[in-house]
Amino acid sequence: MVDVTAAARKKVKDIDLKHQPGFSQIAWFCIAVLYAPIAVLVLFSFNENRSVTIWTQFSLDWYVKAWNNEGIQHAALVSLEVALVAMLLSTIMATMAALVTTRTAPYRGMNVAVAVINQPLMVPEVVTAVATLIFFAIIKQLTGISGIGYLIAAHTAFCVPFAYMPIRARLEDMDLSLEQAAADLYAPPFKVFRRVTLPLLMPGILAGAMLAFIVSLDDVIITLFVAGPGETTLPLYILGQIRRGVTPEINAVSTVFVGISVVLVSFIFLSGKDKK
pLDDT of residue 85: 96
pTM of the model: 0.81
CATH superfamily of 66-272: MetI-like (1.10.3720.10)
Domain coordinates in residue numbering, the chain: 2-44, 66-272
pLDDT of residue 14: 55
Q: Give 164-219 pLDDT, tens digit per residue.
A: 999 998 888 887 788 888 887 778 888 888 888 888 899 889 989 998 998 998 89
Residues of the chain with pLDDT under 50: 1-2, 4, 8, 12, 275-276
pLDDT of residue 188: 85
Q: Give 94-119 pLDDT, tens digit per residue.
A: 999 999 888 877 778 888 888 888 88
Query: Residues near 266 by Cβ (< 8 Å), separated by ≥ 6?
Result: none
